[in-house]
Amino acid sequence: MKLGRAALGLVLLAPLAVQAVEPISLGLALAGVLTGYISYPRLYCLFAECCSQKRSLSRNALQKDLDSKLFGQHLAKKVILNAVSGFISNPKPKKPLTLSLHGWTGTGKNFVSKIIAENIYEGGLNSDYVHLFVATLHFPHVSNITLYKDQLQSWIRGNVSACARSIFIFDEMDKMHAGLIDAIKPYLDYYDNLDGVSYQKAIFIFLSNAGAERITDVALDFWRSGKQREEIKLRDMEHALSVSAFNKKNSGFWHSSLIDRNLIDYFVPFLPLEYKHLKMCIRVEMQSRGYEVDEDIVSRVAEEMTFFPKEERVFSDKGCKTVFTKLDYYYDD
């Protein structure tokens, strides 16, 4: 579409400059211009998104985004920052980067995927080189699993052929039919190339609720012991996460070769959010809408949320996911 608009512009402007040229000569001239436009990538990339024009990822910019937009997730921030910046800066990675993000709804998994995409491609999630799959939307019927496998392989192969630094995001892994994700196992392995295509610079991100119970148990134990959540280490739960995902029946990672073959680079826990974290989310959302932060409204919105366990009311059961719609009530025009 962008190419068409640019070509149309050339067609409209050309007669003004070459009024004395014969129609046939003008047609040949325009054909030559369009051929050159398509043939030279730099010229084409002035009007359309190009893989070669991906952003040069800045570690500082990524850290700034994580610090200012993601709350209560010290483990995720550290892992994502080091994993993504280290991978992008490596000119010859041995395999694609694979991240598996785990936690309850509203804790920031989708938001982190968005931040990663925006720091690599200007279009973020809307970039032609970022591909989002939602299990219940794109792979709804278990009877079609063989077809889905073929389609998934073809889609990944085609897109990586077009852009080596493609990003693939798989949401709702806990709802995906078991065995389906194993179709992409060869693309995540340590191969220089498969049938002439190298997948080593691609990024695969998996989002799942699997293991959320274990994450909550650890966070609650720390809270009850009077310890700060920032004292939780990745080693306290990373192995448990991989085991939980591997053993969760009727889910995408159940007995998956991706886990069995150690092809997931990082299992990243997203901790349940506390009251103070909800208030941080609300303040940022107010600012993004152009409103002055009103602490009274911030508190009222946060207090409308529900928390668990029932007696202690420590963690929000929906994270920051619904605070935005609740905020609408106070700014309804």
Binding-site members for ATP are 103-110
In sequence order, what are the residues at sequence separation of 6 or more whose Cβ sits closer than 8 angstroms to the Cβ of residue 100?
173, 205, 206, 208, 241, 245, 253, 264, 266, 267, 268
Cα of 273 vs its chain's centroid, Å: 20
The DSSP bridge pattern shows strands 130-134 and 266-269 to be unpaired
Q: How far apart are CA 156 and CA 188, in angstroms?
A: 11
SS3 of 215-252: HHHHHHHHHHCCCCHHHCCHHHCHHHHHHHHHHCCCCC
Place of tokens 């992008």: 88
The DSSP bridge pattern shows strands 130-134 and 203-208 to be unpaired
Q: How far apart are CA 259 and CA 240, in angstroms?
A: 12
| Closest residue by Cα to residue 45 from 2, 10, 94, 88 | 2
